[in-house]
Chain A
Amino acid sequence: SAVISQKPSRDICQRGTSLTIQCQVDSQVTMMFWYRQQPGQSLTLIATANQGSEATYESGFVIDKFPISRPNLTFSTLTVSNMSPEDSSIYLCSVELTGAGANVLTFGAGSRLTVL
């Protein structure tokens, strides 16, 4: 199975600033996803990071707020822009688990973001 490295693992940021989270996979993967898990809430898909094209965003999430890059098949970044305290959350990168069947995901360890 793929090994996912995410950084930073945690950060505390000031309101109005932006933070970029990096996700590195140890093998080439077609599908990479960014999820958010707010305190006491379920995981919510932000977007699918597409290699060589614009990310596909879910309802309620927009590119201006969460720009995503996917320069190759092993790397992606998610930026949380113009942060507010409501953006405090865990952000998780995930990829489809090879050989385990469709839709089975493995996750990075997550980036815990606190916005003051």
Chain B
Amino acid sequence: RKEVEQDPGPFNVPEGATVAFNCTYSNSASQSFFWYRQDCRKEPKLLMSVYSSGNEDGRFTAQLNRASQYISLLIRDSKLSDSATYLCVVNDAGYALNFGKGTSLLVTP
């Protein structure tokens, strides 16, 4: 199985800061890309899909760079409630989703 690599962190940032995570994937044929959020001892939940043109949802912006095979997630104006692990997810073929190990974010007061 192809790899999805993430910096595990933790990223410690103060409230209100802007933080960005990158994720690289090795399979150039990958078709779909997502960011999931996983709170401590909880199941992963979809944060946003990542489109080729980039997309924004409130304070969250996701971008895809196919040439360099990475996706990014930018969080503006960080809130305490943003503290979680962010999972990069790539679809290689069919229904097989390839998960990264996650990047841990801690937003402090």
Q: Which positions in A face B, CB cutoff 8 Å?
A: 31, 33, 40-45, 48, 58-59, 92, 96-97, 100-110, 112
Contact = CB atoms under 8 A, between A and B. Distances in A.
A100 B45 CA distance: 13
B101 A42 contact: yes
Given A43-B97, A107-B43, A112-B41, 12 more contacts: A42-B4, A45-B96, A45-B97, A58-B96, A97-B46, A103-B32, A103-B91, A103-B95, A103-B97, A105-B46, A109-B43, A110-B42
7 contacts: A33-B95, A44-B99, A48-B95, A59-B1, A100-B49, A108-B43, A112-B41
A45 to B, nearest CB: 6
A43 B99 contact: yes
Contacts of B95: 31, 33, 48, 96, 103
Contacts of A107: 43-45
Nearest to A93: B43
Contacts of A92: 43-44
Contacts of A31: 95
User: What DSSP secondary structure best describes chain A's contact surface?
Assistant: loop
B87 interface: yes
Contacts of B49: 100-101, 104
Contacts of A100: 46, 49
Given A33-B95, A42-B4, A48-B95, A104 B101 contact: no
Contacts of B45: 106-107
Interface in B39-64: 41-46, 49
A92 B49 CA distance: 21
B87 A42 contact: yes
B34 interface: yes
B87 A43 contact: yes
A56 B41 CA distance: 28
Contacts of B101: 40-42
Given A59-B1, A103-B32, A104-B49, A110 B43 contact: yes
Contacts of B99: 42-44
